[in-house]
Amino acid sequence: MAGIPGLLFLLLLLLLCAVGQVSPYGAHWKPTWPTYRLPVVLPQSTLNLGKPDFGAEAKLEVSSSCGPQCHKGMPLPTYEEAKQYLSYETLYANGSRTETQVGIYVLSKGGGQESSGKSRRKRQIYGYDSRFSIFGKDFLLNYPFSTSVKLSTGCTGTLVAEKHVLTAAHCIHDGKTYVKGTQKLRVGFLKPRFKDGGRGANSSSSAVPEKMKFQWIRVKRTHVPKGWIKGNANDIGMDYDYALLELKKPHKRKFMKIGVSPPAKQLPGGRIHFSGYDNDRPGNLVYRFCDVKEETYDLLYQQCDAQPGASGSGVYVRMWKRQPRKWERKIIGIFSGHQWVDMNGSPQDFNVAVRITPLKYAQICYWIKGNYLDCREG
């Protein structure tokens, strides 16, 4: 492998959207997962840092006024900038912390861009509330809804491996320091509570679920990209608003794989889906789907109804996989928050998801697998 020179890196970024695309036409066309030639993101050096103070207040949403045109007008990152943004900080359960610098190597493309903005809007419901609360263990405990978990800081996360949860960076870090409770961060899994107190093999066949409860697992360590840790979260945009949590023990549930986000025009019906624990419906898992209205290289703009608490939800789609010839759901983004955007002089508001680009896929997959050879298929 060889490092990517700056000019070549920019050319690879510009060519990305042309790689692996499938024309959405033809009598027998199926929305098919594109094939990408992916880059490699590898650690180069690790530095020990001092313990953080865990003093930030948990914010269940972030806001930015930099909309699609603002993002599209931003220059592409240089190779050195991309390495800086994809370097990452790791926080361990004992409070120790490290910073890891990365290298990016030729095997394909990726990148991101940084933006800024200051705005906040509480309500994220568009017209008629189209969210669905998911009730009953037959739904809640079955895939794909069973992949949604609750963070002890109040956000949502998604199971993406046997011991890993993908969520939004702002759920554990405000851009300057870690939020209160992160050192003892836990992940909650919904499970039924039975009226007769029975559980597992000891519960009687007549036991009836009274309501759902959470079973909690402690987090062993967290990874947050340095593209997020550059100042106040509301000042740096949402491009790097993602984090990976590693649990202290396996969760033993089916998880959803991550994938590179296809262009919006290739998504089935142009729609995305996600489920989260919206604050206005406490104790409920809330599912929704909606059309993608606009996209940039790093973000998907949509008007899915959502409330604080849904942040960190995995945004997914279901598409046809050529090998092994089956339909498969994959996480293609992370629900981040809200943006109030000036669209050609007319104000418009969107909810925003961070796209999993090839570089972000390579980074997150390496965090999960620990071996870039296992991260060649996005």
Domain membership flag for residue 116: no
Q: Which pLDDT does position 139 carry in this prediction?
A: 61
Q: Which pLDDT does position 354 carry in this prediction?
A: 94
Q: Which pLDDT does position 114 carry in this prediction?
A: 33
Number of folded domains that form the chain: 1
Domain membership flag for residue 50: yes
Let me know: does 304 contact 272? Beta carbons within 8 Å.
yes
Q: Which residues participate in catalysis according to the annotation?
A: 170, 235, 311
Q: Which pLDDT does position 220 carry in this prediction?
A: 97
- pLDDT, averaged per 10 consecutive residues of the chain (378 residues), comes to 56 46 54 88 95 83 71 82 94 95 72 34 47 57 87 95 96 91 93 57 40 88 93 59 96 94 92 90 86 90 84 94 90 86 69 93 96 86
Q: Which pLDDT does position 112 carry in this prediction?
A: 37
Domain membership flag for residue 112: no
Residues contacting 286, CB < 8 A, separation 6+? 131, 132, 133, 134, 275, 276, 277, 278, 310
Residue 154 has which token pair?
């109040």
* Interstrand relation of 299-302 and 314-321 (parallel, antiparallel or unpaired): unpaired
Q: Which pLDDT does position 205 carry in this prediction?
A: 38
Between helix 6-15 and helix 79-86 the angle, nearest 10°, is 80
Domain membership flag for residue 11: no
Domain membership flag for residue 114: no
Domain membership flag for residue 216: yes
Distance of CA 363 to the CA centre of its chain: 13
Domain membership flag for residue 331: yes
Domain membership flag for residue 145: yes
- What is the CATH classification number for the domain harbouring 160? 2.40.10.120
Q: Which pLDDT does position 68 carry in this prediction?
A: 77
Domain that holds residue 256: 31-104+135-193+208-374
**Is the pTM for the entire model greater than 0.85?**
no
Q: Which pLDDT does position 330 carry in this prediction?
A: 96
What is the C-alpha separation between 257 and 195, in angstroms, rounded?
35
